[in-house]
Amino acid sequence: MLILILFVLAACESGSNEPASKSESSNKTGEEGTPKEGGTLSFYDFDDPKTLDPHKSIASATNSRIGLVYNKLVTFATGPDNFSSDEIVPDLAKDWEISEDGKTYTFHLRDDVKWQNIAPVNGRAFTSEDVIATMERIKNLPGPQANSLVSVESIEAPDDYTVIFNLSEPYAPLLNQLASFVMWILPKEATEGKVDLDNTAIGTGPFILESWKRGVEASFKKNPDYFEEGKPYLDGVTIYPNGDSMTEVNAFRTGQTDVILTDSKIDFETLKKSVPDAQIQSEIVTASRLFINQTRKPLDNILVRQAMSKAIDREGAWKSIYGNGEYNGYVMPTLEDWALPLDERKEYQEYDPEGAKELLAEAGFPDGFEVSMIVTDGYGPQLVTLAEWVAEDLKEIGIKVNIEVLEYGTFFSERWPSKEYDIGIGLVTPVTDPSDSLDPFFKSDGYRNWQGVNDPKLDEMIKQQYLIVDRDERIKYINEIERYLFENVTNHVNLFAYHIHHFKQPYVKGFDPHSNYGYLFMKNVWLDK
């Protein structure tokens, strides 16, 4: 246990990222020796996605398959201490300028980029036309990604290697969102329907998608024409869709896979014991929450929701189920600069069953009531255990909870979006810009507002923060929004953030994960064997 605590502390420290300079992040292999070429890296990942089309699905599974194939205009810095870095570095654009008034973004593109040599693109040069075609597709397809370009009025290409974005009003998170995983740049041919984007991917990235067998594996091979000299180091990458945790653990133990990712305390301990020389990296990536359908009575009463929040013993839950954890806010602590200070998050969410009972009595339910709770086992068994924990806590203050364990598809695509539930337990997606964790969930018309939050003042505040271009000012304002959510909305109820552990075989080098989906760092990975 002591070791675990020390370990968590160490991990927290490593999470505090200083913005690394570009040269550092691209040249970080120095300390690990000279990279060797060759070898194939294999690991288990999320379940197979429905489609590989980046603009049809924001699913992590889609992005983890295609991230190796595509590039974006700009991307996030990756490196040993850069897990949640929001520092933007060049990708297809070699540099860029933002006008004084924040309404014009000019990107200068690399002129040495070629598409992968696959029909119908056949290795032609990448130009500004591809960028424009991709952006048009994003704007025209329905879906959350179009949101990012709402304030973009027009995009023009004065020549083959320059792209200009004209905005109607300043939009603070634009660069961040262009660097984020929905903005993969497709070849022009693909946007014209000449490529089967659901099942294949042709990009400019370090790896070529060789084959994708649903339910079996996605295999990638090195792109010999990749624009960064000498990269990637690996000959190939193989991604298996997730099996049950025992299978994954055993595959890693026997060396069949090179990396494994787990959030389970028990797997963590098993792996630590059975593969003692593995490299371990733990990062706060994910968080759980209790979402409440406030279109139903008595859950529309804020006192009831606050009582629920007070009733939950968060620290106890994370200690016994995950072995680690941290008080979470409406902006996750992965966005270190943007999240509320830890003390404040803790203050808002202290365990206080007596206070909860009082609140419930004040709301007119001294004897409690009965609700049903939806949860899925699609994220692994821990979440169901957590649901049982929360149900017990709520029972303590008189709220009887009936748990319904649903299959992932029913949970995520049916019951939750159509508000056919009382309360539920789910996860929070990590984001790279704070607005992404506010706008979709809490604006009355947010695309993932599946809780029925409807607060005009909050809507206005969320709209306002987009217009603040000064970073420090915006941080202050976002903090205000978060406090407002804690005090006046309390839906969802945050549970806690916790670690995901990466175990790497001792010979795996340069595997430095980043919270944004798509394995941005894979070009830097090499095998020392």
Binding site for another protein (CB under 8 A): 245-246, 264, 266-267, 269-270, 313, 316, 320-321, 377, 381, 384-385, 387-389, 391-392, 402-407
Q: Where are the beta strands (DSSP E) in 134-252?
A: 152-159, 162-167, 207-213, 217-222, 236-241
> Closer CB to another protein, residue 302 or residue 403?
403
> Closer CB to another protein, residue 129 or residue 315?
315
- C-alpha closest to that of 520 among 138, 91, 220, 131: 91
> Closer CB to another protein, residue 210 or residue 269?
269
The CB-of-398 to another protein minimum distance in angstroms stands at 16
The CB-of-360 to another protein minimum distance in angstroms stands at 21
SS3 label, residue 90: strand
Query: CB within 8 A of 14, min separation 6: which ones?
Result: 81, 83, 281
The CB-of-388 to another protein minimum distance in angstroms stands at 5
The CB-of-415 to another protein minimum distance in angstroms stands at 10
Asked if 153 contacts 168 with a C-beta cutoff of 8 angstroms, the reply is yes
Q: Report in angstroms the alpha-carbon separations of 336 from 12, 85, 465, 473, 482.
A: 11, 9, 18, 16, 14
Query: CB within 8 A of 393, min separation 6: which ones?
Result: 311, 312, 313, 353
> Closer CB to another protein, residue 406 or residue 461?
406
The CB-of-320 to another protein minimum distance in angstroms stands at 5
The CB-of-321 to another protein minimum distance in angstroms stands at 7
The CB-of-392 to another protein minimum distance in angstroms stands at 5
Asked if 70 contacts 205 with a C-beta cutoff of 8 angstroms, the reply is yes
> Closer CB to another protein, residue 344 or residue 388?
388
What SS3 string covers 439-483? Answer: HHHHCCCCCCCCCCCCCHHHHHHHHHHHCCCCHHHHHHHHHHHHH
Cis check for the bond before 298: say yes or no (omega within 30 of 0): yes
What is the spatial distance between Cα 279 and Cα 490, in angstroms, rounded to a whole number? 39
> Closer CB to another protein, residue 406 or residue 520?
406
The CB-of-400 to another protein minimum distance in angstroms stands at 11
What is the spatial distance between Cα 459 and Cα 455, in angstroms, rounded to a whole number? 6
- Region of 5 on the Ramachandran plot (φ > 0 left; ψ -120 to 50 alpha; else beta): alpha
Q: Where are the beta strands (DSSP E) in 160-216?
A: 162-167, 207-213
Beta strand 207-213 with 74-76: parallel, antiparallel or unpaired? unpaired
The CB-of-382 to another protein minimum distance in angstroms stands at 9
> Closer CB to another protein, residue 53 or residue 393?
393
The CB-of-501 to another protein minimum distance in angstroms stands at 15
DSSP state of 125: B
> Closer CB to another protein, residue 10 or residue 246?
246
What is the spatial distance between Cα 243 and Cα 490, in angstroms, rounded to a whole number? 36
> Closer CB to another protein, residue 144 or residue 381?
381
Query: CB within 8 A of 122, min separation 6: which ones?
Result: 115
> Closer CB to another protein, residue 344 or residue 392?
392
